[in-house]
Amino acid sequence: MVIKDAKFLMSNTRIELCPAPDKPEYAFIGRSNVGKSSLINMLTNQSKLAKTSASPGKTQLINHFLINDEWYLVDLPGYGYAKVSKTSREAWRKMINYYFQQRENLTCVFVLIDSRHEPLKPDLEFINQLGTIGVPFVLVFTKTDKQSNTKTDVNIAAFMRKLKETWEELPQIFRTSSTAKTGRDEILNFIEEVNLQLKQNK
């Protein structure tokens, strides 16, 4: 897929104010500092399309971008912030759950995992939450350039073993580096293929 046009549409906290659900929608989410904004900017070939918050956990908005006038890319507020109050966490949980359950054109969620870490509880809990709701998702292991390929392999293998404890079928995975642009073609080709399938099934 060639990204010819990527533009910011809107930010909001209410699902009913999101753009009309007339195009496939792909949402990106992950923990603090997982590299979500960098990945979105890398995918769209724009250095400042997605903005990084100076205070992780403060941005609690659903951000919509229109790509090639064909599909929506959604930047969701992250999870797992220790410094955010319980009230804020609960508000986030309700908003995200409502989005996942009510957004009828949501096609796939890209769950970003920092490849430098061993399996972390917030990531595993969030993935299990997606399974409970029944939302299609894939895993994106970020920052692979920050360590050796061997270390990345070890951490990804450990993560997938942990998932096997509760999942019969494991999700598709992507390895990315926003700096080296690793994984860009793979993710965009995946989205292109899914969009094509959706058109054929109409």
Give the pTM: 0.94
Mean pLDDT of 87-112: 91
The pLDDT of residue 59 is 58
Question: For residue 189, what are its two tokens?
Answer: 């080709």
As a whole number of Å, the CA-based R_g of the chain is 16
The pLDDT of residue 81 is 66
End-to-end CA distance of the chain: 21
pLDDT single digits (tens) 44-78:
998 788 876 555 555 578 999 999 999 999 999 88
Structural domains of the chain, ranges and CATH numbers in brackets: 6-201 (3.40.50.300)
Question: For residue 89, what are its two tokens?
Answer: 């966490």
The pLDDT of residue 54 is 52
Q: What mean pLDDT is reported for the chain?
A: 91
% of the chain surpassing 70 pLDDT: 94
Closest CA to 73 of 32, 115, 42, 34: 42
Mean pLDDT of 114-132: 94
**How, if at all, do strands 106-114 and 25-30 pair?**
parallel
User: For the purposes of burial, counting CB atoms within 10 Å of the CB of 20, is it exposed (0-12), middle (13-18) or buried (19 or more)?
Assistant: exposed
pLDDT single digits (tens) 146-183:
999 999 999 999 999 999 999 999 999 999 999 999 99
